[in-house]
Structure 1
Amino acid sequence: MKRRTALQASIGVVTALALAACGGGNSDDKSTGNAGPASVTIALSSAPNSLDPAQIAVGPFLNYVDPAYASLLTRKADGSLGAGLADKWGYVGKKNTKFKLHLREGVKFADGTPLTATDVVNSIKYFQKGSGPGGAWFRPLKFSTPDSSTVVITSPTPNPDMGTLFTPAYLGGAIISPAGLKDPKKLASATFGAGPYVYSAKQSVSGDHYVYVPNKNFYDKSAIHFEKITVKVMPNVNSQVQALKSGQIDLMFGTPDVAPTVKGNKAITTLQKPTTWAGLFLLDRDGTVVKGLADVRVRQALNHAIDRAAITKAVYGDYGTPVSQPTMPGYEGYSTEAEKMYPYDPAKAKQLLKAAGYKKLTIPVNYGSFDPVTTKMLQAVQDQLAKVGVTLKLKAAANFGGWINDLVSRKNAATVLSPGTGGDSNFYAQQPAFTKTGIMNVFGVDDPDFNAAYEQLAESDPQSRGAASKDLTDVIVRKALALPVSGTDTIVLYNSELRGVQFPKGTGQLISNTLWTTG
């Protein structure tokens, strides 16, 4: 049970950037569809499980947290780190194990309490104990406070991208005030941050809509662009589209089915970006359940046996990209060489299987039938692998909890994570599945080639990091540790009067709603 709970929480951060939470709400200007200067309304499909940064899911659910909780660092449009509650930051020494943050002067929490280094440490220590998906990355960290405005973070192992942990996407940098930590139960339904807005319980209805109004104690009044931010819960994506067209909402997360319905509508802008890869994680790389998967030739045969372009077109249409690697174009670690390693070649696949001693092979695979799009992708892969003598024995789970149970049972040699994973730097993206202690590496496979490449990336400096990240991808693909099929897009549909709605370079997380403005 303990393993299952930890896995369920940690996998949340693996998939979060892919979760297309959709919904709708009420805008001040319902007649024109324009986002007026007074307010903006965001539609999501699900209500938050909590407003507590240490408990809430990430991905689109960040829209419930971002307004009220400023992060220590931010992500600029060019992908670089930007100032937040901290105005200076960087590594101490050259080992990538110590990172220092200097806090901005004059920052106060919404209740007027000044922000101190001790507050930062206490907040992150609380976050370390939470059940939210980002907590796993923070638990090994240690902290010290040389003075009231400086925090030093120490990692037991090298991390070349420690600053990313303190950006909004990971939530640990969303600092909670002493008042909030004094009575953590209140964090579920109220906000205790230092962000530009505060949650208004009086104007909100839990489970239906969540309203945020300006924080009178925010350190930069010029950064408050709206009199009100509303996040409206609307489970039906078609209802969201109608609300967007009529001007009741200003932004929603789309799907391949509904996105084409707004084409040609000048009042609505479509933004899409490949953020996750969909395919099979080949879990049993030591051959515990399926002996053949321990042979690299078998894993390479699987990669040659599928027509990625055809599957991607059939399943994802204009909102997918064929990929042979566990990352997408435009992200750190993407390798043009790796993308050429496995052209569609069923004859080559059969040759490799024969050389490995297999004419036929059966591989048990678990997946979530609750995700119809990913299920369609898996069925297409199943059909194509059957043509080279490989049978996928599918085990469906009706919900995420069932998928977790099937995964940790160690009865399945491969799995499909719905709706995919990615949208992050290679150091974070590849750790869960391929490091020996990774949360998805349920068989504990220890690959020395992967380890060497991962350690090289962990110890890299800014100048060598790009090459080290690409080398890691090349190792994963050359050894066929996975069976990637498609890079899938996150789709955002929004009122054309909004400005600043974008994906920062190299990330799959939409920029904070506090940074949007109106035309």
Structure 2
Amino acid sequence: MTKTPTSPTFAMSRRALLLASGAGLAAGILPFGPLKAQQSGTLAMCVTPEPNAMCAAFNTASPVTVVSGKMLEGLLNYDFNVSPTPALATAWEVAADGLSITFSLREGVMWHDGQPFTSADVQYTIMEILKQHHPRGRSTLASVTAVETPDDHTAILRLSQPAPALMYALAGWESPMLPKHVYEGTDVLQNPANNAPVGTGPFVFQTWERGSHIIMTANQNYWGEGEPKLERLVVRIITDPSARAAALDAGELHLAGDGPIPVNQVQRFMDSADFQVDTRGTEMNNSLDMIHTNLRNEHLAKLEVRQALMHAMNREAMLGVVYYGLAEMLTGPIPETLPNFYTADVPSYDYDPARANALLDAAGYARGADGMRFSLRLIAPTVGDTYERMGQFLKQNFRDVGVDLELISADIPTFIRSVFGEYDYDLTLYPGSVTADPTIGSQRFWWSKAASQGTPFVNSTGYESAEMDQILEDASVEPDPEARRALFVRFQQLAMTDLPILPVARPIYVTIAAANVVNFVPGPDGIRAPYGSLAFTG
């Protein structure tokens, strides 16, 4: 059967983010020479872009979660129905009143440095790390008031109010458990283990050659029977999407995810017997491309301007020109892939340049002699050619209504500093993960209390709404599914009325693997999975 992005018969994953350092295709650039299939059980994958850290407890940028998830584990894993399965916890029970969750912890688990994993590590990680420093954990774990440890293998989370989203936020790439004995008494944000993790996962950190590669080796004391299957996992840093495609063709990469290649080359990989293409693996992420406005800007502070920008975007044409059909248009902040929460009953903004011009006129911004009304800066992370094409597309759309768009492409550290550290931007475009539950992924972008200057991937727009805050806070603790859905319907309607963020599209990202690689999308977290079962056939 023909492999297409919507066919359930070909291996599937979504999501694109970033890049890194592209010189690494030449044989011999790595200390172990060129990589070939099944060479001493070594598998080469890539991450895009290069992560700026190794521990997802403090940084939820996509490349960080990909790497962190191989070394650091969470209490739970998840199946493709996004139902919890055992990881560091083997059993769990949510109290009838929703005010406690009891976890039975796996026995015999060792940290990579040989120390035992216990409930004290769970208590310390949740209370001292994730609640205080995790970009999403500050809201996801807000209801957790204490973690009791009646014995080494039992951890009881005490909650001030029900937290229905919490059970969807305990994967290793999202909420990794950290060793108390390594972090306690240190400046946790500067701890060396943040860039050389000490975890319980199937792979052990070995080295990080900046701009080139990351090497992880098999955890010989891993609790998973017969795992890991590989002796070594090499994560290559290759900045250019075309170079990544060439590395796959040459057998120098066996696996690449998060939309690793130019979208106009995806079809040829789908048609090749040498590769597998999978569009599953982002069910836990649901990454969305959205334009975040800086409401501190005098122009963008006016609702009419934000409405005009929505009407100025020809998003239907963008799906073909920018995404080559590998995307779905958004109607609001929640995608259709979350049917339990999604609604199409929201204010809509069809492509209508005449309406955009009328709104800008009404806002008091007349065209100058050059035809322009004002200029805006759009900053995006350096993440391959998709955002470059989108920037050029938006520049023309906005120019048609008299808004001059200056395009700025920045590496990840510069992007994070400019957008979240200094608020030095007008518009910003990046893939924001809404995860499997809006409380976990969406709330942080619209909730005023999530704003924390210097914390990446939270509310940077300056948007404040008492009504929105109340909706999100009520939804985060509402135990009744129908009542909770109603709250999120109102969230979507208000978000599309106030428009601090302009929704664009949900990219359909692919994961590509050599034909002899198995278990490369083992669950809904895709390439963020621990990869203990990742292997070559034969």
Q: What secondary structure, in the 3-state scheme, does the structure 1 residue paired with 2:103 have?
A: strand
Once the two structures are superposed, the pairs formed by residues 9-48 of structure 1 within 5 Å of their partners are 18-21=16-19, 38-45=41-48, 48=51
Which residue of 392, 405, 412 maps to 2:418?
A: 405
Q: Compared with structure 1, are the counterparts of its residues 234 and 147 closer, same or farther at alpha carbon in structure 2 (3 Å cutoff)? A: same
1:417 aligns with 2:457: no
Deviation at 1:76, TM superposition (A): 1.8
Q: 2: CA distance between counterparts of 1:391 and 1:64?
A: 40
For residue 354 of structure 1, report the CA deviation from its aligned partner.
6.1
The answer to whether the 8 Å contact 2:197/2:205 transfers is yes
**Which residue in 1 is equivalent to 2:170?**
166
Q: 1:407 to 1:268 in 2, by over 3 A?
A: same
Measured in 2, the distance between the counterparts of 1:379 and 1:345 equals: 19
| Residue correspondence of structure 1 range 462-477 to structure 2 within 5 A | 463-464=481-482, 465-477=484-496
Q: Among 385, 388, 397, which residue is 1:384 paired with?
A: 397
AA matched with 2:418: N
| Cross-structure match for 1:116 | 118
The 1:313–1:503 alpha-carbon spacing in structure 2 relative to 1, beyond 3 Å, is farther
Q: Which amino acid aligns with 1:232?
A: R
Contact 2:71 2:530 in 1 (8 A): no
Alignment of 1:456 onto 2:474: yes
1:508 positional shift: 7.6
Letter in 2 for 1:220: G
* TM-superposed deviation, 1:48: 5.0
Say if 2:82 is the partner of 1:86. no
Secondary structure at 1:394 match in 2: strand
- Whether contact under 8 Å (1:453, 1:468) holds in the other structure is yes
Find the counterpart in structure 2 of residue 12 from structure 1. Answer: none
Residue 282 (1) aligns with residue 289 (2): no
Output the amino acid matched with 1:323. L
Distance in structure 1 (CA, Å) of the matches to 2:81 and 2:477: 24
Structure 2 residues not aligned, in runs of 5+: 1-13, 368-372, 452-457
1:451-493 C-alpha deviation (Å, 9 max, x unpaired): 3431332123263344543442233124434222222233321
CA contact (8 A) 2:312 2:353 kept: yes
> Does structure 1 residue 511 correspond to structure 2 residue 529?
yes
Q: Report the Cα offset of residue 117 of structure 1.
A: 0.9
1:345 aligns with 2:352: yes
Note the C-alpha offset of 1:86.
0.8
Which of 225, 230, 249 is equivalent to 1:226?
A: 230
Matching residue of 2:310: 303
Deviations 1:80-128 (A, max 9, x none): 2221111223544546x64432212333334554322112223445634
- In 1: Cα distance, 2:120 partner to 2:217 partner: 27
Answer whether contact 1:35 1:497 (CA < 8 A) is retained.
Answer: no
| 1:244 match | 248
Matched, 1:446 2:464: yes
Match of 1:6 in 2: none
Task: Output aligned runs, 1:147-166, within 5 Å.
Answer: 147-148=150-151, 149-154=153-158, 159-166=163-170
Does the CA-based 8 Å contact 2:69-2:528 persist in structure 1? Answer: no
Give the direction of change, closer, same or farther, for the CA distance of 1:209–1:384 in structure 2 (3 Å limit). closer
Which residue number in structure 1 is paired with residue 7 of structure 2? none
**Cα distance, 1:167 vs structure 2:** 0.8
CA distance in 2, matches of 1:36, 1:92: 49
Tell whether the 8 Å contact from 2:313 to 2:351 is kept in structure 1 after alignment.
yes
For residues 205 and 410 of structure 1, what CA distance do their matches in structure 2 show? 31
User: Superposition pairs for residues 177-326 of structure 1, below 5 Å?
Assistant: 178=181, 187=193, 190-200=196-206, 208-253=212-257, 254-257=260-263, 258-260=265-267, 262-272=269-279, 275-284=286-295, 289-290=297-298, 293-295=301-303, 298-326=305-333
| Corresponding position: 1:437 with 2:449 | yes
- For residues 56 and 305 of structure 1, what CA distance do their matches in structure 2 show? 34
Q: 1:390 to 1:409 in 2, by over 3 A?
A: farther
1:410 is displaced (CA, Å) by: 6.0
Cα RMSD of the aligned pairs, angstroms, is: 4.2
C-alpha spacing 1:433/1:276, structure 2 compared with 1 (3 Å): same
Q: Does the 8 A contact of 2:332 with 2:496 survive in 1?
A: yes
Shift of 1:446: 2.4
CA shift for structure 1 position 268: 0.9
* Contact 1:338–1:477, Cα closer than 8 Å, also in 2: no
Deviates more, 1:303-312 or 1:475-484: 475-484
Distance 1:114 1:165, change over 3 A: same
Using the TM superposition, name which of 489-498 and 345-354 deviates more.
345-354
Query: Counterparts of 2:155 and 2:101 in 1: how far apart (Å)?
Result: 8
Q: How far is 1:400 from its partner?
A: 4.7
Identity %, equivalent residues: 18
Aligned to 2:148: 145
What secondary structure, in the 3-state scheme, does the structure 2 residue paired with 1:65 have? helix
Within 2, Cα distance between the matches of 1:460 and 1:338? Answer: 22
8 Å contact kept, 1:53–1:174: no
1:5 is aligned to: none
Q: Please list every run of 5 or more consecutive structure 1 residues that lacks an aligned counterpart in the other structure.
A: 1-15
Deviations 1:315-342 (A, max 9, x none): 2213333223234331367635157823
Distance 1:303 1:109 in 2: 50
Q: 1:504 to 1:336 in 2, by over 3 A?
A: farther
**What is the TM-score of this pair, normalised by structure 1?**
0.77
Summarize deviations over 1:266-318 as a string: whole Å, max 9, x none: 1111234684332422332xxx64367444x5543432332101123212213
1:496 partner amino acid: A
Q: Distance in 2 between matches of 1:194 and 1:444?
A: 39
Asked if the contact 1:42–1:250 (Cα under 8 Å) also holds between the matched residues in 2, the reply is: yes
Q: Deviations over 1:45-99 (max 9, x none)?
A: 565545455566642334433333332111222222221111223544546x644
387, 402, 421: which is aligned to 1:374? 387
Is residue 503–residue 510 contact of structure 1 (8 Å, CA) maintained in 2? no
- Per the alignment, in what secondary structure is the counterpart of residue 509 of structure 2? strand
